[in-house]
Amino acid sequence: MKRFLALLLFGVSLFAQRVVVIHSVWGSPGGISLMNVFPPFSLRNGISPHGATLNKVIYSSGQLFTVSSGNGKIYIFTDDNIPNLQDSIEIGPMTNPYSAVVLGDKILVSLWEVDSLVSYDIKTKNRLWGLGVWRSPQYVGYNGNYYFAISTGYNRSTYTTDTSIIYKIDTLGNIVDTLKLGINLLYMDFLGGDSAIISGGDFFTSSTWKIYIISTDPLTVLDSVSAPTSFSFVKRVNGDTVLALSYSWAYYYLISSRAFIPLPLGSYYGFSEGEVYNERLFILTAGNYTSNGDLIVFNRNTNTIEHVATVDVGPISIALSPTTLSSREYIVRRPEVKGIYNVSGRKVDKLNGKGVYFIVDGKTLRRVVVR
C-alpha cells in the first residue's frame, strides 16, 4: 500500500493495463491496436477502422478520442475490449485537426491548416470558442489550470520553417502569455510544477535542433541545449530522464547533465510516439509507413528490447488505457474508506462523472467504473 500511495503522489498511472495505438494511412481509414502492458503482451490489430489520416489518440475518463486530420473529425470510442464508436464531432473539411487535449467535458483541438485552436463541448458538440494563432499549430496540452499550445511557424505556402510561438491560454480561450522560441518546435511535456520540456527544429538544419527547458509561469527559457537530431516527441520517463524520439533516432535526455544517450534499438526507424509504464517503454516505429509497423517494448531495467509486436501500417500515436469492466460497479463511501483516486493518481472527493476510479480503504484496493 505504501508503494501504491507513493506512486500516486508522483502522478504515475499505476493502473493502466494496456496501450492503445492508432494507425495513420494517408487519406484512408486507420484502425486501433490494443496490447497488454504485461507479458505475454497480448495484441489485437485491425479494430474499428475509421476516419482518414488519423493523427492522435487520447484516453480520458473511460473513453478514447481520436483525431482524424483527413476528414476534419474527432471520433469518440468506448474504452472496451473492443472499442465501439459512440459519437463524432464535426470540425470541418480542410481544417486538418492535428492534436487535441481533453479536459472534463471539453476538448481543445489544434487546426494545422487554418492556424487556429478550437474548443468543443463533448456532450453537446457545440463549439465553445476559437482562437487564431501563429502558423501551423500542432501540440496542445493542459497543466496547472491552463492550456498550452505550440504554433510551429511552418509556412505551408513556401514549405519553409520559421520561429515558433508557445501559448498559455485560460479555459475560456484567453491568451495569458506567449513565448517566441526556436524554429519548428513540435512537442512539449510537463516536468512537474511550473516547468516543461520542448523539442523540435528544422529537419534539414542542424543548428536549429534544440531541447528547451522552460518555466510555464511565466513563460521563460530556463535552459537551451543543442540536440543530435530534430526531436518530434519528448516524454518524461522519471526523475530527470526524458524519452526523445525523432524519425530515425531514439534517445534518453538527462536534464541535469544535459546528456543524450542513444537507446539500443537496432535498425528500427520511423519513430513517432512512446509511452511509459513502470520499467517499460512502449515505442512506436512505422518504418516507411507503407508496410507493417512495430510496437517495441523496451525494458529500462535491463536496457534491452523485451518484446516486439508487429502492428498494422502507420502506427502514429499511443496512449495508456485502463481496461474497463463489462458492467457497472457501485460503491457507497463508508467511514473506513481512506481515499478515492482518479486514473491520473489525483485524490478526489467523490465519484465525479464517468470514468475509472480507485478506492483505497487501507487494506484493499477496488477499481470502479462509472459509465
Instruction: Give the model confidence (pLDDT) of 173-224 as tens digits.
Output: 999 999 999 999 999 999 988 999 999 999 999 999 999 999 999 999 999 9
* DSSP H or E stretch at residue 74: strand 73-78
Rounded to whole angstroms, the Cα distance separating 249 from 296 reads 14
- Which distant-in-sequence residues (6+ apart) come within 8 Å of 71 by Cβ? 51, 52, 93
Strand partners, 92: none
Maximum average pLDDT range among 104-108, 349-353, 354-358: 104-108
368/210: higher pLDDT: 210
> For the chain, where do the domains classified as CATH 2.130.10.10 start and end?
16-321
Across residues 102-121, what is the average pLDDT?
Answer: 97
Q: Taking all residues of the chain, what is their mean pLDDT, rounded to a whole number?
A: 89
Residue in 232, 284, 222 with CA at minimum distance from that of residue 258: 222
Rounded to whole angstroms, the Cα distance separating 109 from 125 reads 13
pLDDT at 262: 98
Q: HSE of 329 in the Cβ direction (CA atoms, 13 Å)?
A: 13
* Cα→Cα distances 187→5, 30, 139, 200, 272, Å: 30, 23, 6, 7, 11
Phi-psi domain of 331 (left: phi exceeds 0; alpha: psi -120 through 50; beta: other): beta
224, amino acid identity: S
pLDDT at 354: 65
12/227: higher pLDDT: 227
Strand, helix or coil for residue 254: strand
25/147: higher pLDDT: 147
Rounded to whole angstroms, the Cα distance separating 207 from 228 reads 10
C-alpha cell at position 313: 501500417
Task: Report pLDDT digits (tens) over 152-174.
Answer: 999 999 999 999 999 999 999 99
Rounded to whole angstroms, the Cα distance separating 223 from 302 reads 31
Burial label, 83 (beta-carbon count in 10 A; 0-12, 13-18, 19+): buried
pLDDT at 332: 39
Pairing of strands 43-50, 339-342: unpaired
- Which distant-in-sequence residues (6+ apart) come within 8 Å of 315 by Cβ? 21, 22, 23, 24, 33, 272, 284, 285, 286, 293, 294, 295
C-alpha cell at position 180: 517566441
Rounded to whole angstroms, the Cα distance separating 293 from 220 reads 38
CA angle 228, 291, 36 (to 5 degrees): 80
pLDDT score of 303 more than 60: yes
Across residues 263-269, what is the average pLDDT?
Answer: 97
133/326: higher pLDDT: 133
Q: Which CATH superfamily is domain 16-321 in?
A: YVTN repeat-like/Quinoprotein amine dehydrogenase (2.130.10.10)
Question: 358 near 341, Cβ under 8 Å?
Answer: yes
CA angle 262, 266, 269 (to 5 degrees): 85
Across residues 221-236, what is the average pLDDT?
Answer: 97
Rounded to whole angstroms, the Cα distance separating 77 from 80 reads 8
Q: What is the DSSP letter of 264?
A: -
